[in-house]
Amino acid sequence: MDVTYMMGLLGGLALFLYGMQMMSSGLEAAAGNKIKLILEKLTANRLIGVLAGAVITSIIQSSSATTVMVVGFVNSGMMTLNQAIWIIMGANIGTTITGQLIALNIGGIAPLAAFIGVAAMIFQKNEKIRHIGEILAGLGVLFIGMNMMGSAMKPLAEDESFINILTKFEHPILGILTGTVFTALIQSSSASVGILQALAGSGAIGLESAAFVLFGQNIGTCITAFLAAIGANINAKRTTLIHVMFNVFGTVVFTILCLVTPVISMVKSWTPLNAPAQIANLHTMFNVVTTLLLLPVGIWLGKIATIILRDKEGEAGTEEMRVQYLIDIKHINTEKLGISVVCVEGIKKELLRMMELTKKNVFEAFEVFADQKKNALGEIVKREEYVDYLNKEISKYITSAVSYEKTSGGSRIFNSLFTVTSNIERMSDHAINIAGYSKIIREKNITFSKQADSELESMKQTCIKLFDLLMERTADFVTWHEKIACMEQKMDDMTARYRDNMYERIKSGQCSDEGSILFSEALTDFERIGDHALNISSEMLKIEMVNH
């Protein structure tokens, strides 16, 4: 093959892949966090789930990205395994939109689309218009790359050695393996199908050979989600297995159909003069028919995955410090999806774990302070170490995720979550302070008045109500934030009132100097816990504003 044609092929391939990345990045950025909101409103209804998966994948132009997102949501507990089944089915249908778009063959206006898109990206300050410009520019560059690849491949249609190689793809196993390996390498079925369409458009390959490569491409696209599930929990791994089973089942069914029925001839007859459209139509048929066949028995995919990947005995009860819900960022295809959409729910779950540990520490700290006979200080210290560990791991994770995040909204969310984790950790520090005063109280045999004991009990109960409110699931974040602000003000008022009461006790001789100092320190910690709670609710409100 001439070097000039080879350079044209590689250059066209580069533009095609870059255009696809630009287009999907612009679409995802324009959609923002609406993707997550669609899934949050998802019900157990299988048809709605399939539709949601198809719509989301049509928006971000990547079934791999959708599946990675679903793996993350299952890992965080935001979505059940059964809900994930329907999303995955829909994602496989949605990914065929790219092929249908390519089959439209609008290459003639591709340079104009690229020019308008680039102009909008450079000269427009409005963020939404710039995202639309990125979509147009990506679409234009994609078709320019397709045209370059098509031109470079035309001589191959007459090259006997190349034709002999492609003819071998008519062997089902060889074609499927080729499609699987190639798609696994580039981690995008949309891109690999587009390249196959370019080959078909140049006349280098017919549908008889391309069909089996196409089926293999559907299996190869599972590699991205497989990598994302490494290190995730067992249900996230089952989600990936379901994705593989879906595509393997479809490949087996359609391979048999192509061998014993005139399916290929039928698809060719729909668009006899448009080879790329033939591949796009077969791709759509593959995923729609497979979904229709598996839809009535989809729950069984989950059951089979559960049988294959069984729960490990003792896994849930381990006391070893570890994170449970953070999905490995290294294995997420961030070119197709804002990383925040995948990671945020897992971070929130870990923050809830931190909050539970901190709540126990605050409760027991007041118990130890009020009754020095209670020997809970060791347990409080252990939990504090766990809180510190989670704070460090979550903070490292957020720092890593921010470097991958491509949207301004996603970056703001990560910044807020970073602030939340540090505030939870500081609340646990104040619990350690309160518990630590008990040592001095015990060593110096300090006693408190009944009024002081009553005030300590009120402080403890107020803190418990505060934590319950912080961990409350709500759809109305504005009202939730206002409740916490009111609670924080109440804690400020209690601190001022109790400090005045303490001064009165000092005057009347009911409180020793050393006891008053420790009680005053406990009041300060109590008041600071309220401050940190308000900081947390403010950051969560910011996140909700970004999402909407």
412 versus 312: which is more confidently predicted?
Answer: 412
**CA dist 91 → 329, 370, 510 (Å):** 21, 57, 71
- Contact between 471 and 356 (Cβ < 8 Å): yes
Q: What is the pLDDT of residue 467?
A: 96
Range(s) for CATH 1.20.58.220 in the chain? 338-547
- Contact between 351 and 417 (Cβ < 8 Å): yes
Backbone angles phi, psi at 299, to 5 degrees: -60, -30
- When pLDDT is averaged across residues 536-546 and rounded to a whole number, the result is 92
Question: What is the number of helices (H) and of strands (E) in the chain?
Answer: 23, 0
- Token duo for residue 171: 């062997």
Q: Which of 342, 380, 215 is nearest to 290 (CA)?
A: 215
Question: What's the 3-state SS for 462-517?
Answer: HHHHHHHHHCCCCCCHHHHHHHHHHHHHHHHHHHHHHHHHHHHHHHHCCCCHHHHH
The span from the CA of 78 to the CA of 179, in Å, is 33
- Which CATH code of 1.10.357.10, 1.20.58.220, 3.40.50.300, 1.10.230.10 fits the domain covering 338-547? 1.20.58.220
pLDDT classification of 318: cutoffs 50, 70, 90: very low
Q: What is the pLDDT of residue 29?
A: 67
Looking at residue 274, its amino acid is N
Mean residue pLDDT of the chain comes to: 85
pTM: 0.70
- Token duo for residue 516: 């008053």
Per DSSP, which regions of 6-53 are E strands?
none
| Alpha-carbon 389 to chain mean position | 23
- Contact between 62 and 190 (Cβ < 8 Å): yes
pLDDT digits (tens, 9 = 90+) for 47-94: 888 988 888 888 776 777 788 778 878 887 778 888 889 999 999 999
pLDDT digits (tens, 9 = 90+) for 482-515: 999 999 999 999 999 999 999 998 888 887 888 8
How large is the greatest C-alpha to C-alpha distance in the chain, in angstroms?
107
The span from the CA of 70 to the CA of 60, in Å, is 14
Side-chain-facing half-sphere of 382: CA atoms under 13 Å: 8
- What does the DSSP assignment read for 40-77? HT--S-HHHHHHHHHHHHHHHT-HHHHHHHHHHHHHHT
Q: Which of 212, 450, 463 is nearest to 358 (CA)?
A: 463
- When pLDDT is averaged across residues 212-226 and rounded to a whole number, the result is 88
- List of residues 6+ apart from 154 with CB closer than 8 A: 202, 203, 204
The span from the CA of 425 to the CA of 265, in Å, is 65
